[in-house]
Amino acid sequence: MKRKTILIQMPVATISGYGALSRDICKSLFKILPESEYELMIDATMWGNCPHGALNPNDPEDKQIIDHYIKDGQLKEPPDLFLQNSIPSEFSRVGKTNWGFTAGTETSLASLEFCNGANQMDLIVVPSTFTKNVLGSTKWSKKDQQSGKILNEIACIKPIEVLFEGLDTDKYFKIEWVD
């Protein structure tokens, strides 16, 4: 049986928040997906000017990420699943199925470029309900200058899921420190 291919395009080696999430995603996938059924390939991208250096080749989990870096010519056809961690305006369709991970937006309105980029993916994964609501509710309208009639409306129409990255205050809570 042919293994399913998963291409992970993320800033896994960068010292950034996007890098930390990227490493968490990779480490989780290595733990839950049987290697006999899935081939994971990692395309380690840049994140702005953030330096690379977050991966330690002497750490077994980090080495596993490094060992799965994509090699020239390795990808002969579109992957079954493409996972990208970036801002939505940089999202692109590469795989048969495409998932975009993003912190999304820090405002109450997503840009037109973010909406267009998000619509390139089959699923968007965000860290908060706030981001989900902003991406899911933003609509951009192009109106006829003379009549005011709406000619075109653009909105994020793809499913959006929240992958909570915060602290569970039911498990972790403030306690009084006693010396």
- Model pLDDT for residues 125-145, shown as the tens digit of each residue: 999 999 999 999 999 988 888
- Cα gap 2→71, rounded to integer Å: 19
* pLDDT tens-digit map of 27-79: 999 999 999 999 999 999 999 999 999 999 999 999 999 999 998 888 889 99
Ordered domains of the chain (ranges, CATH): 4-162 (3.40.50)
User: What is residue 42's predicted lDDT score, i.e. its pLDDT?
Assistant: 97
Written as one string, the DSSP assignment of 80-146 is: SEEEEES-GGG----SSEEEEE----SSSS--HHHHHHHTTSSEEEES-HHHHHHHHH-EEEEE-TT
Residue 30 pLDDT:
97
Give percent of the chain with pLDDT exceeding 70: 99
The pair of three-digit structure tokens given for residue 23, joined into one six-digit string? 């490493």
Crossing angle of the two packed helices 60-67 and 17-32, in degrees rounded to 10 = 90
